[in-house]
Amino acid sequence: MSRYYPETPRASVSVLCHRDGRALLVKRGRPPFKDHWSLPGGVIELGETLQEAAARELFEETGVTAKLGEPVETFDSIQRDEDGRVATHFILTVFCGPYISGNAVAADDAAALDWVKIEDLDGLLTTPGTPERIRRHMATPLGQRPGV
C-alpha cells in the first residue's frame, strides 16, 4: 500500500532514544517532512510486533540499540493536500528508552542525526509535536517509564 493517498492509515513506530540528557534525532531524508528533525521510526512490517519494529527502525536509521519497554504514546499524523484530501495518515506508537550500544550514524532514509539537548529543540525545524513529545517523555522519572 502506498504511503501517499493511502486507502487506510499506516501503522508505524517512533523511538525516543536518550543518553546523558540528550535525545537522538534524525533529519528526514525523504517526504513527508523532508529535512525536518524527528524521532527515528517507520512503518511496521507484516508479522512484526510493535517493539520489534521500533528496535529495527532505530537500528536501521541510526545503528543504535536502546532498552525499549512498553509504548509510551500513540498519536495520528495526518497530512492533507491543498484540496483537503488525506495525503498521508500514519498512526505512530512511540517507545522511549535509554541508549544501550552502537555508533550513531545516519543510515537508511535518515539524512543526518544528532544527540540533541532539550534546551536546543526549539532551534530546530522538526516534525509536528516532536519537541513537546521529547520534553514530556524525558521529564518522566526513569523509574516511572513503562518497561525501564
Q: Residue 60: give the domain boundaries.
A: 10-143
* Cell 502506498, located at residue: 2
**30 occurs within a structural domain:** yes
Number of domains the chain is built from? 1
Q: What is the CA radius of gyration of the chain?
A: 15
**90 occurs within a structural domain:** yes
User: What is the C-alpha to C-alpha distance for residues 120 and 124, in angstroms, rounded to an integer?
Assistant: 7
Per-residue pLDDT of the chain (148 residues; tens, 9 = 90+): 678 899 999 999 999 999 999 999 999 988 889 999 999 999 999 999 999 999 999 999 999 999 999 999 999 999 999 999 999 999 999 999 999 999 999 998 889 999 999 999 999 999 999 999 999 999 875 544 444 4
pTM to 2 decimal places: 0.90
**5 occurs within a structural domain:** no
Report the CATH number that the domain containing residue 94 is assigned in CATH. 3.90.79.10
